[in-house]
Structure 1
Amino acid sequence: MKKSMIIANPSSGKEEAEKYIELVKAQLTHNGYDSNVRYTEREGDATAFAADACIHGYDAIISIGGDGTLNETINGMGGKEHRPALGVVPLGTVNDFARGLRIPLKPEEAIAVIGQGKLRKVDTGRVNDRYFINIIGLGKIAETTAEVSAEQKTVLGSLAYFLEGAKTLVNQEPFDITVQSSGQQWTGPAVLFLAVLTSSAAGFEQAAPGARADDGLLHCFVIQDTSLPQLARIGVNLLRGDFTKDKDVIYFRTQEAVISSSKPLAVNIDGDAGGQTPLNLKVLKQHIDVFVP
């Protein structure tokens, strides 16, 4: 019988992870998997559990939680020679990775996808000594949204991110960065830098409409320092899927990039705080296999 590990974050999905575990176990059993359940209690648990599954030759890892739990899981898998297939049950606030791969956002429907044999090879990214699965952000907006508490997410859902981002936008703080990629360099003031691996970022499913999860590219955006009305226009274009064409947005695609700043900037990695600049970014093309519809 094949082996699977279920990694569950009990605090995700308004603390509803527990009720989905039995459904996942039943789905795995139906598809020929024995299952071992691990619960996260503190930061780093999902990374340790996923690394253990890789070392001991598991066939599948199922992540039950949000993008943060998924990021930790990927960090446990990233550098291993054997990487099990990955199943995702999205219970987070935004669930960008699931959105980007068209994995159903309703947990029951996402569970039905697991173990069915349809696997897709998708990219992961490396930032300095860590891995990421969806997005890197720099700037006060990225920093404050990373600081949204678990309690705010539980009570307000995605509205919590919107409120924190809106407050920061009104009191924007530009920063100077240098972006080096493919032999070219850009230096200047910006209010936000993003690098994404899929089309979805911060819940906006068409933030990078040309991005595919397996194209081997970082899709990067520099939002230049501009006035509040111009930022509002950029926001409207983001909602319309025209973000990449805005005159105050620099958009480029690359396999690697180096980002430096005049002073250390906090980094948002897959929705959570993750160190400071400078950054060395690299794509690992088609690095993991994911169960998809």
Structure 2
Amino acid sequence: MKTARIIYNPTAGKETFKDQLSNVLTRFENAGYITSTHATSGPDDATYAARFACEQNFDLVVAVGGDGTVNEVINGLADFNERPDLGIIPMGTVNDFTHALTIPNNLEEAIDTILSGETAKVDLGSMNGKHFMNIAGGGKITEVSYEAPSKLKAMIGSLAYYIKGIELVPQMRSINLRIEYDDDVFQGEVMLFLIGLTNSIGGFEKLVPDAKLNDGYFSLLIIEDVNLAEFAHLLSIAMKGEHLKHPKVHYFKAREVKVSSFEEVQLNLDGEFGGVLPAHFKNKKEFLKVRVPLAFYQELNGEDMEYSLPDTEQEM
């Protein structure tokens, strides 16, 4: 028999998942899984639960919650050479990672993906011993993600970070950074740098339009010093995917990135506090095994999605 461990945030999704738990367990057991659950009780608890699942050789770990819960689970899985497949049921305020993987927000459809979908290998980012699956960043603007009011985040998701950012730009300043990416170096006054793995970052689907989740490369975005008007303009053109043409935006692909500064600069990993500079980012190519929809799996791996008739039918 296959084994599954469901790790869920009991407060996610307006606490609706708890009411559906019995039906969820029935679906997994009908699919041939011996299934157990773990309700998280505080920060990093999902990481410990994921480590336990690895130690007990579970075949499948299911993370239920938003990007924060998924990030904690991934940090638990990343400690092991042999890891269970990861299934995700998005139930959080911010679900950028599952959006990038085209995993449905609907509970039943997300379970269908876990039980009947394909297992894709996607890249994972590491930074000073921590891991992230979607985005890392630094600069004064990233610090506003911790200050965005929770009610605002609940209503409009990650866009709240940027609204708060616009409010604080007048009192912000750029920071002199040294950013080494593979064999090149950028040094100068920077308002913000972002290191992305997917094309869905902070609600902006076109921020890194050519992102590929299994190519072993980060998308590195660097924004030089900007004023309020320039920042607002950048946000507006970023929604259309036209920001890469802006003279104060620099875009590179890199497998490794090292960032340092003489000042203390806070880091953001998948929307949460990730420590301070200096930092060494590494892309772990195809490190994570995730259950995804068939269409996404085929697109990711460059497979022909057109249906071909068997030879005998083609000859008729």
Instruction: Tell me the TM-score range normalised by the shorter chain.
Output: over 0.9
Change (3 A) 1:155 1:199: closer
> Amino acid of the residue matched to residue 71 of structure 2?
N
SS in 2 for 1:220: strand
**Does 2:208 match 1:208?**
yes
Whole-Å Cα distance in 2 between the matches of residues 70 and 173 of structure 1?
32
Change (3 A) 1:80 1:106: same
> Amino acid of the residue matched to residue 217 of structure 1?
Y
Can you list the C-alpha shifts for 1:74-112, whole angstroms capped at 9, x where unaligned? 100002021111111111222111111111123332222
Change (3 A) 1:110 1:165: farther
- Equivalent position of 2:270 in the other structure: 270
State the Cα distance separating 1:212 from its structure 2 match: 1.4
- Equivalent position of 2:105 in the other structure: 105
- Equivalent position of 1:64 in the other structure: 64
- Equivalent position of 2:139 in the other structure: 139
- Equivalent position of 2:219 in the other structure: 219
SS in 2 for 1:114: helix
Conservation of the 8 A alpha-carbon contact between 2:198 and 2:208 = yes
> TM-score, normalising length from structure 2?
0.87
- Equivalent position of 2:166 in the other structure: 166
> Amino acid of the residue matched to residue 121 of structure 2?
K
Query: Counterparts of 1:6-45 in structure 2 under 5 Å?
Result: 6-45=6-45
> Amino acid of the residue matched to residue 251 of structure 2?
Y
State the Cα distance separating 1:155 from its structure 2 match: 5.6
Conservation of the 8 A alpha-carbon contact between 1:261 and 1:277 = yes
Conservation of the 8 A alpha-carbon contact between 1:13 and 1:154 = no
Change (3 A) 1:207 1:41: same
- Equivalent position of 1:49 in the other structure: 49
SS in 1 for 2:160: helix
Whole-Å Cα distance in 1 between the matches of residues 200 and 159 of structure 2?
17
> TM-score, normalising length from structure 1?
0.94
Long gaps (5+) in structure 2: 294-316
> Amino acid of the residue matched to residue 68 of structure 2?
G
Change (3 A) 1:185 1:75: same
- Equivalent position of 1:246 in the other structure: 246
Can you list the C-alpha shifts for 1:154-184, whole angstroms capped at 9, x where unaligned? 4664453343223223433211111001221
SS in 1 for 2:71: helix
CA RMSD of aligned residues (A): 1.7
Conservation of the 8 A alpha-carbon contact between 1:14 and 1:154 = no
Change (3 A) 1:60 1:166: same
**Does 2:88 match 1:88?**
yes
Conservation of the 8 A alpha-carbon contact between 1:63 and 1:69 = yes
State the Cα distance separating 1:213 from its structure 2 match: 1.4
Q: Could you tell me the percent identity over the aligned residues?
A: 37
Whole-Å Cα distance in 2 between the matches of residues 118 and 98 of structure 1?
14
> Amino acid of the residue matched to residue 232 of structure 2?
A
Conservation of the 8 A alpha-carbon contact between 1:99 and 1:205 = no
SS in 1 for 2:188: strand
SS in 2 for 1:214: coil
Tell me which moved more, 226-235 or 144-153: 144-153
Can you list the C-alpha shifts for 1:104-145, whole angstroms capped at 9, x where unaligned? 123332222112141111111100111111110112221111
Whole-Å Cα distance in 1 between the matches of residues 23 and 196 of structure 2?
32
Whole-Å Cα distance in 2 between the matches of residues 161 and 214 of structure 1?
28
Conservation of the 8 A alpha-carbon contact between 1:208 and 1:243 = no
Conservation of the 8 A alpha-carbon contact between 1:223 and 1:249 = yes
How many residues matched?
293
SS in 2 for 1:115: helix
Tell me which moved more, 158-167 or 179-188: 158-167
Whole-Å Cα distance in 2 between the matches of residues 287 and 43 of structure 1?
24
Conservation of the 8 A alpha-carbon contact between 1:261 and 1:278 = yes
Tell me which moved more, 160-169 or 257-266: 160-169
Whole-Å Cα distance in 1 between the matches of residues 219 and 47 of structure 2?
26
Conservation of the 8 A alpha-carbon contact between 1:198 and 1:213 = yes
**Does 2:159 match 1:197?**
no
